[in-house]
Structure 1
Amino acid sequence: MMAQKAPTVGPYTDQLADYLHYVTVERGLSANTRTSYQQDLTQLFQYLIKAKDACALNDVDRFTILDFLKQLETEGKSRNSVIHMVSSLRKFFEYAYAQEMIEKNPMDQVDPPKKAQHLPAVLTVDEVDALLAVPDTNTPLGLRNRTLLEVMYATGLRVSELVNLKLDDLHLEIGLIKTLGKGDKERVIPIGDIATDWLRRYLAEGRPFLGKQQVADVIFLNDHGRQLTRQGVWKLIKQMVRQAGITKDVSPHTLRHSFATHILENGADLRIVQELLGHSDISTTQIYTHISDKRLTEVYDKTHPRA
C-alpha cells in the first residue's frame, strides 16, 4: 500500500508525514481513515502556526489543545466534529509520545465533549387524542388496539413491559397494575379510570374473540391468540400513526415519553415520574424536564404577542 504525500504544514510537515506513513503502512488503515486523520491534524498544525508562533510539538500542552478546540467551536464546528478531532489528536499524540517526539502527552487530561443529547419525540395532547381515535372499537382487534394505546399512555410502560403484562398483574379494583421492568425490578403503577374502563371492556368483549387457542395469562394477544410481540406493537403503532395523520417519527416509546412529559407539565414531581418510569437514576428522568422547557418556550413564542 503506497502512502500519499502529506500536505505541507510548516515545521510539522515531517512529523505529519511520518504519522500518516505509520497509520497507512504499519497499521493498515483505510485511505478514508488516513484522509480523516490528515485533515484533523492539518487543522491543528495550521492553528499552531497562526496562533502559537509554530511552537515546538513538545511545547504543546493541555491548554494549547483546549484553546484549539475552543477555536473550532467558535468557527461553528459541530459537536460531533469536535469529538472526532479529539479522537484524532489522542491517537496522534499517543504515537508521538511512543516515538519520543514529545516528553508528555497533552491529551492525557483532555476529555472529549459529551455527545449532544437528542430530545425524544413527544406527542401533543391533541395528537394523542387523534391516535386514540384511530382504532375501530367495534371489532376485537380494534378494541385491543385502543386498549393498548390507552394503557401505554396512562402508565408510561415500556413496550416490553406491556406485552408481558399478565392478567394477575391487574388490580383494577384499586386502580393499580404491577410490572416487571429492567433488571427484574418490580414496580406498581397507578392506572387511570379511562384506561381501566378500556381494559375491562377489552377483557370482556375483545380478548375472548382473539384466536381459538389462547395463551392463558397474557393480556394482549394477536389475532391467533398468541402473545403480542414487541415487533407487533411497533408495526401497529406505526400504522395507526400514519392513519392519524401524524408526521412525527413515532415509536411505542414515544407514548412513554409523552406520558412523562405531560404529567411533568401538569405539576408532577420529578421523583414521582422517576418511580413511575422505573428509572434507577434520576438523571435519566431529567431529560423530560428539558422537553418540558422546550415545549414551554415553543408555546410562549407562538402565543405571546411580544415574543
Structure 2
Amino acid sequence: MEQNESREDEVAKFLDYLANVRMSSANTVLSYGKDLHLLSSFAKGLGLEVIDMTEHDARQFVRYLIYTKEYSEATVNRVLSATRTFFRHAVKIDLIRTNPFGLISLKKALSHLPSVLTVGEVGQLLSLEAVGFSSARNLLLFAFLYDTGCRISEALSIREGNIDYKKGRIPIVGKGNKVRFVFFSGITRDRLSYYLSLKHDLQDRKQILDSRISSLLFCSDAGKQLPMSTVGSIFKSYKRKLGWQKDFTPHVLRHSYATHMLDNGADIRLVQELLGHSSISTTQIYAHVTQKRLARVYASCHPHGRKENE
C-alpha cells in the first residue's frame, strides 16, 4: 500500500523538487502542475499511474491533446515539454529506465492519421449478444458512441431526462459550454430500452436514492457513476475478446463515426457541427483518412490504377 501511495505522489514530489531544489518560480511550478495534472487524469482514465505509462500510452496522450482537447500546436508543445522534463527527472533518479515521451514529437503526431474501425468491424462489435446488465451497458456504450460521435466525457455526463426519444436526439454540452444535438438510431433506441430496464432494477436493488447519481445514463455495476478507468478496462476487454490488434478506445469509435459519415458523402461542415469541433481544421483530419482510402480504391479497382501498380 505504501509503495502504491509513493507512486501516486511522484508528480507532487517533482513539483516540490522544482520549487525547492531548482528554485523555479511560482508561475513555472503552477504551469508544470497544470500540465502534469492533465497527464495524471489521462493516465487514470487508462487505469494507470503516470509513472507506469509506456510509449504507446504517450502516443495516445498526444492524440488526446490534439483531437479530443483540440489544443493549439503551441499548447501541445508546452504540455509535452513539461511531460518530457518530468520523465527525464524520473529516469535520472532511477524511478524508471526509459522516458516514454523520449521519441514523441508533435510533428509525427500530427501526421499520424487516427485509427478507425471498418464498417465490418463495427458490425462485428455490435452483433455481440448482451447477457445481463454489464454486457447490455457495454454494448449500448459502443453503439451510442458510434451512433452519436460523442466524446466519452460527453456520453458519461448524459442524464436520462436529456433523451428525446421521439426525435431521436440528445442535447450535448460540449467544450466551451456550447450546446449541440447528437442523433441516435432505432438500433440504439432499442438497446436503450433494454438497458434502462436493467439499470433501474439494479439501482433499486442497490438503493441508489440520490437522483444526481441515478439520473446519469451510464452507471457502474454498483449502480453509481461509471468511472473513466472502468471504461478503459471495458474497451481493453472487448479488444481481447474480438482479437483485434488495432487501437480500440472510445475515441476510435468517434473517429470511425466521422470517417464513415464522410465516406458516405456527408458534408464536412455538417460533420464538424455534429462532432462539436470549434475549427474545421480539426475535422479535416478525417477527410484525409477518406482521401487515402479513395486512393487505395482507385489503385486497386480502376484499370489504369491497376496497371500502374502491376
Change (3 A) 1:294 1:207: farther
Q: Deviations over 1:186-221 (max 9, x none)?
A: 111121121122112211234532561332210101
> SS at the partner of 2:297?
helix
Q: Give the partner amino acid of 2:275.
A: L
Of 116, 121, 125, 1:122 maps to 116
Higher relative contact order at CA 8 Å, sep ≥6: structure 1 or structure 2? 2
Counterpart mapping for 1:32-51 below 5 A: none
TM-score, normalised to structure 2, is 0.59
**How many Å separate the matches in 2 of 1:156 and 1:284?**
14
> SS at the partner of 2:131?
coil
Match of 2:170?
Answer: 177
208-217 or 191-200: bigger deviation: 208-217
Gaps of 5+ in 1: 1-113
> SS at the partner of 2:182?
strand
> SS at the partner of 2:219?
coil
Q: Give the partner amino acid of 1:175.
A: G
Instruction: Please say if residues 132 and 150 of structure 1, whose CA atoms lie closer than 8 Å, have aligned partners that are also in contact.
Output: yes
Q: Deviations over 1:105-132 (max 9, x none)?
A: xxxxxxxxx8242111011011111222
**How many Å separate the matches in 2 of 1:226 and 1:303?**
51
Instruction: Please say if residues 131 and 241 of structure 1, whose CA atoms lie closer than 8 Å, have aligned partners that are also in contact.
Output: no
> SS at the partner of 1:171?
coil
Of 216, 220, 223, 1:222 maps to 220
**How many Å separate the matches in 1 of 2:301 and 2:121?**
19
Instruction: Please say if residues 143 and 206 of structure 1, whose CA atoms lie closer than 8 Å, have aligned partners that are also in contact.
Output: no
Instruction: Please say if residues 150 and 195 of structure 1, whose CA atoms lie closer than 8 Å, have aligned partners that are also in contact.
Output: yes
**How many Å separate the matches in 1 of 2:221 and 2:188?**
21
Q: Deviations over 1:135-163 (max 9, x none)?
A: x4121111111111110000000010011
> SS at the partner of 1:227?
coil
**How many Å separate the matches in 2 of 1:231 and 1:276?**
26
**How many Å separate the matches in 1 of 2:200 and 2:237?**
21
**How many Å separate the matches in 2 of 1:271 and 1:255?**
19
Of 259, 262, 282, 2:260 maps to 262
Change (3 A) 1:272 1:140: same
Q: Give the partner amino acid of 2:277.
A: H
Bigger radius of gyration: 1
TM-score, normalised to structure 1, is 0.59
> SS at the partner of 1:267?
coil
- Percent of aligned positions with the same letter in both sequences? 43
Instruction: Please say if residues 171 and 180 of structure 2, whose CA atoms lie closer than 8 Å, have aligned partners that are also in contact.
Output: yes
Gaps of 5+ in 2: 1-105
Instruction: Please say if residues 207 and 221 of structure 1, whose CA atoms lie closer than 8 Å, have aligned partners that are also in contact.
Output: no
Match of 1:99?
Answer: none
- The answer on 1:133 being equivalent to 2:131 is no
Counterpart mapping for 1:123-272 below 5 A: 123-134=117-128, 136-209=129-202, 212-214=206-208, 215-272=213-270
More helix by share: 2
Instruction: Please say if residues 214 and 224 of structure 2, whose CA atoms lie closer than 8 Å, have aligned partners that are also in contact.
Output: no
Of 259, 270, 273, 2:271 maps to 273
**How many Å separate the matches in 2 of 1:246 and 1:151?**
20
Q: Give the partner amino acid of 1:130.
A: Q
**How many Å separate the matches in 2 of 1:237 and 1:133?**
16
Runs (4+) of structure 1 moved beyond 6 Å? none
Q: Deviations over 1:2-61 (max 9, x none)?
A: xxxxxxxxxxxxxxxxxxxxxxxxxxxxxxxxxxxxxxxxxxxxxxxxxxxxxxxxxxxx
Q: Deviations over 1:166-185 (max 9, x none)?
A: 11210011111111111222
Q: Give the partner amino acid of 1:218.
A: L
Q: Deviations over 1:54-92 (max 9, x none)?
A: xxxxxxxxxxxxxxxxxxxxxxxxxxxxxxxxxxxxxxx
Q: Give the partner amino acid of 1:129.
A: G
Instruction: Please say if residues 167 and 218 of structure 1, whose CA atoms lie closer than 8 Å, have aligned partners that are also in contact.
Output: yes
Question: Number of paired residues?
Answer: 195
